[in-house]
Structure formats: C-alpha cells, structure tokens
Amino acid sequence: MAARPARGHVVLLSGGMDSATVLATAVRAGGPVHALTLHYGQRHARELAAARALARHFRVREHQVLRLPIGPILRSALTDPSRPLPRGWTRRSKGSIPPTYVPARNTIFLSIALGYAESRGLDTIWIGANAIDYSGYPDCRPEYLRAFERLARLATKTGVEGSTRFRVRAPLLRLTKAEIVRLGEKLGVPWGLTWSCYEGADRPCGRCDSCRWRAKGFREAGRPDPALAGPRPRSRRR
C-alpha cells in the first residue's frame, strides 16, 4: 500500500540540537512545515533566538513564537533561577527523574501543537523527545506519546469525524546524542545556530548537563561542535 501523503507538519521547535534535527527530518518528509516555539518562562530563553534562526534557515511555512508565562507555577530547575542546575546527573546515582523535569511540559506543549494543527488542517506533530541518554522524563516515553496520539483522535472535532488521523512523531526517541549528531549531519542541520546550554548566557557554560551531553555527543560522533568555534554563523533568510 502506498504511503499516505502528509497533509502538513507542525514541529515543536525549542532551538536545541534535538528539535533542530527533528525540524530537518520533517522538512525531508515533504509537505508544508510549520514550527511552534513556546516561551514558557525557561531560564535559558536564549534558545528562542536559536529557534527563530533555525526556522529561517529551513524556510518553514510559518513560525509562531508563543509567550506562555506558566514558568512560575511549574517548579523546576529550568524555571526557577534560585534552584541549582544539575551537573553530572545520572539516573543510577541521583534517582529516576532529574530536577530539570518541568511538570507536564510536554503535555502542555503537545496540546497547544494539537490545537495549532487542527486549526490549520495539519496532521502530524513532531517533537524532539528522547528516552535514551540522561533525561528519564516521564513525558518522553514511547507509551506516553502513543497515549497522546490516541487522545488527539478522541478530543478533536476532526479526529472524531474521521477527517484527520493525527500522528505524533518522535524520530529521536531511541537515539543517543552521538546518533543524533550523525543524523543531523546527514540532514544538513546547521549546528552553529542551535542552543543547548541551560544557563542562557551569551556563550555555552560547558558545565551544565545539557552542555556536557552535547559535548559527549559530538565527541563520540567524531565531529567538532561549530557552536564552540568562533562567531555563530548566520542563517539563510526567506
């Protein structure tokens, strides 16, 4: 049976290396690609500029940056500057879920992406969830994503009427950071435009867990990280 042509995609684009690779994957899949970025009160809001640059580079059909000031009610090291950022966190040594977990974040983000998709006649939601390396986040598990996909079909007009079968795609779910780097290289991801550091300063701190896992990925993939080499490259304009 021939593959069903995609009606269109919406990518949850944070500006990090994972979401950039997912965006490139969605573009390669064909069909109109939209990007949605949420400013939810994260301390590393520096990633918003990276998301805008990536959206321009990949010439998405539409890029929405939505201010959603829910950070104060979501207790996490990523939303509360008074909380220390983890360094060297591992599931074995510290527990199952790190302090960078933001309560219900993916459920909130996917719900907004679902409303966006239904409003624009799109059928595929892409997210950079990853269940391998360090996260341990409950909302990055494959069973959670399958459950949200079922919810999308039950809780929307187009899903109930059968006119659209929503899909949630998480192509990086079972990839290591090194494998993500190799995939991004094949897809032409401009790593120099991406942002991973949790500190949100002008330059990556190199100490937080996000920086450490990024460095490990590039090292194991045998690739230099352009974000650490000189000025950040400029993106292509639409």
Within a domain: 234: no
- Per-run averaged pLDDT (10 residues), the chain, 238 residues: 64 97 97 96 89 98 95 90 77 66 95 97 96 76 95 94 91 95 98 90 85 94 84 43
Closest CA to 140 of 116, 167, 174: 174
Quote the CA–CA distance of 25 and 23 in Å, as a whole number: 5
Quote the CA–CA distance of 225 and 119 in Å, as a whole number: 38
Within a domain: 105: yes
Q: Do residues 134 and 124 make contact, with C-beta atoms less than 8 angstroms apart?
A: no
Within a domain: 237: no
Quick check: pTM over 0.75? Answer: yes
- The domain containing residue 196 runs over which residues? 9-228
List, for residues 166-178, the tens digit of each pLDDT value. Answer: 999 999 999 999 9
Within a domain: 71: yes
Within a domain: 36: yes
Quote the CA–CA distance of 8 and 222 in Å, as a whole number: 34
Q: What is the CATH number of the domain that holds 110?
A: 3.40.50.620
Quote the CA–CA distance of 151 and 166 in Å, as a whole number: 10
> Both tokens of residue 203?
């330059």
Burial (CB count within 10 angstroms: exposed 0-12, middle 13-18, buried 19+), residue 69? exposed
Residue 160 host element (H or E): helix 157-161
Within a domain: 174: yes
> Both tokens of residue 197?
């550091």
Quote the CA–CA distance of 41 and 20 in Å, as a whole number: 20
Burial (CB count within 10 angstroms: exposed 0-12, middle 13-18, buried 19+), residue 109? buried
Within a domain: 2: no
User: Considering its fold, how many domains does the chain have in total?
Assistant: 1
**E-strand spans in the chain?**
9-12, 33-39, 62-67, 124-126, 167-169
What was the pLDDT predicted at 44? 82
Question: How many beta carbons lie within 10 A of that of residue 97, not counting itself?
Answer: 13
Within a domain: 188: yes
List, for residues 77-106, the tens digit of each pLDDT value. Answer: 889 888 988 776 655 445 578 888 899 999
Quote the CA–CA distance of 166 and 32 in Å, as a whole number: 15
Residue 114 exposure: Cα atoms within 13 Å on the Cβ side: 24
What backbone torsions phi and psi does residue 167 show, to the nearest 5 degrees?
-125, 140
